[in-house]
Amino acid sequence: MRYVTFEHQGRLRPGYLDGDRVRAIDCGTLLEYIALPPERRAERHRSESYTLTDVSLAAPVHPNKNIFCVGRNYLDHALEGARATGRDLKLPYVPTFFTKAPTAIANPEQTLEFSSRVSREYDWEAELAVVIGARVKDVSKEHALEAVFGYTCFNDITARDLQRAHVQWFKGKSLDSAAPIGPWIVSAGEIGDAQNLSLALRVNGAEKQHSSTARMIFSLPVLIAELSKGMTLEPGDVIATGTPEGVGFARTPPEFLKDGDEVEVEIEKIGILRNRIRII
Ligand code: MG
């Protein structure tokens, strides 16, 4: 199943894709739907439907709390970062978690507006995002994937100069529109093995990142198990699982997003998250 949040006649509604149509789900938000016990979800499906081209898709899920993120979860990205900053590579023995403010969430196809007065170094990071489907704490890595509702594309847009200046990553990662997500959540069952998906990022059609989720340092079950240690994960929580090599600041010379750029994150079995950049 592919789950969406769509706008129809000025109202945001949850739904799911059925061929080229969007069928409605009778819930206030997709977050409410995800929080239902799995056996109670199908009774909210409605036959009422719209042509996909007649609606616009919004961010499929909008958690009430920060988006969980993982830093340096692909070896080649950790290496390029160390090289670009002139530091020795020290790989962590546990995942590096940080968060982005929920106000940073942006829609698929949305033009992302940023200010040149706030940052001169807007950078891209293609990531597989996990959407949690159950309330879990201290889940073992053997059972961690049972807590997953589905997967979607994520672009962890980062203001590199702010990330450096503030040391703590929160500010440079949390600007408005710096968390485009979507275009839909593909159910865990439809994805199958999420640890073997190709992911890529293109700027104006030119490929900048291309890797596989098989190359993560900490696997999806390890990330979920570690994050849930002593800390409750809730339905609708989003975990962005890290980016592979090819980000802008580590390139020679460094490259950053420019006004008018089109950025695409493509993940196998999910689709393409596309956004235009506006820098004013
Ligand atoms: Mg990232």
Confidence of residue 123 (pLDDT cuts 50, 70, 90): very high
Distance from the alpha carbon of residue 83 to the mean position of ligand 1, in angstroms: 17
Distance from the alpha carbon of residue 124 to the mean position of ligand 1, in angstroms: 8
Distance from the alpha carbon of residue 145 to the mean position of ligand 1, in angstroms: 21
pLDDT, mean over the chain: 96
- Report the percentage of the chain scoring pLDDT > 90: 92
Distance from the alpha carbon of residue 146 to the mean position of ligand 1, in angstroms: 24
Q: Please, which residues bridge with residue 273 across strands?
A: 265
What pLDDT, on the 0 to 100 scale, is given for residue 43? 97
Distance from the alpha carbon of residue 238 to the mean position of ligand 1, in angstroms: 13
Distance from the alpha carbon of residue 217 to the mean position of ligand 1, in angstroms: 14
What pLDDT, on the 0 to 100 scale, is given for residue 91? 85
Distance from the alpha carbon of residue 38 to the mean position of ligand 1, in angstroms: 30
- What residue ranges do the domains of the chain occupy? 2-58, 67-279
Distance from the alpha carbon of residue 19 to the mean position of ligand 1, in angstroms: 32
Q: Which of 152, 158, 153, 154 is nearest to 81 (CA)?
A: 158
pTM above 0.95, yes or no: yes
Q: Flag whether pLDDT at 89 surpasses 90.
A: no
Using CA atoms, how far residue 174 sits from 66, 155, 157, 262, in Å, is 9, 12, 8, 20
What pLDDT, on the 0 to 100 scale, is given for residue 262? 98
Distance from the alpha carbon of residue 209 to the mean position of ligand 1, in angstroms: 13
Distance from the alpha carbon of residue 173 to the mean position of ligand 1, in angstroms: 8
Q: What is the mean pLDDT of residues 53-58?
A: 94
Distance from the alpha carbon of residue 240 to the mean position of ligand 1, in angstroms: 7
Distance from the alpha carbon of residue 244 to the mean position of ligand 1, in angstroms: 9
What pLDDT, on the 0 to 100 scale, is given for residue 95? 97
Q: How far apart are CA 205 and CA 193, in angstroms?
A: 28
Distance from the alpha carbon of residue 212 to the mean position of ligand 1, in angstroms: 15
CATH fold, domain 67-279, is: Fumarylacetoacetate hydrolase; domain 2 (3.90.850)
pLDDT digits (tens, 9 = 90+) for 93-103: 999 999 999 99
Q: Which residues of 256-271 are buried (b: 16+ CB within 10 A; e: fewer)?
A: bbeeebebbbbbeebb
Q: Flag whether pLDDT at 150 surpasses 90.
A: yes
